[in-house]
Amino acid sequence: MQSKDSNLCNGRGDIGCGGQIFPLKMDGRWFLFKDVVIFLDKDLEIPRCDRCKADWIDDDTQVALDVILNRDYEVHRELIEAARERYRERQ
């Protein structure tokens, strides 16, 4: 979690490089969620360190992320479960 008191990349004590953290929108971000890769909308802002490029997901970002990941997973749930079932049958 990013410290609310600082926008430096060392809000977790020893972890971090001391760079500046800025909100960043970008294309091509993805998360592994329930063993499925989900690509995020490019308009979602996630704070990122300008030096070490680490994502700093604060509480508000985590809430938004959870909503998006669950929503997108549910959209494709039938296909995902069907694919898993076919895979299990092959083993």
Residue closer to Zn ion by CB (options 15, 37) is: 15
| Residue ranges in contact with Zn ion by CB under 5 A | 9, 17, 19, 49, 51-52, 54
Tell the smallest beta-carbon distance from residue 54 to Zn ion (Å).
5
Tell the smallest beta-carbon distance from residue 47 to Zn ion (Å).
11
Question: Does residue 28 contact residue 45 with C-beta atoms inside 8 Å?
Answer: no
Residue closer to Zn ion by CB (options 38, 47) is: 47
Burial class, 79, CB count within 10 angstroms (exposed 0-12 / middle 13-18 / buried 19+): exposed
SS3 60: helix
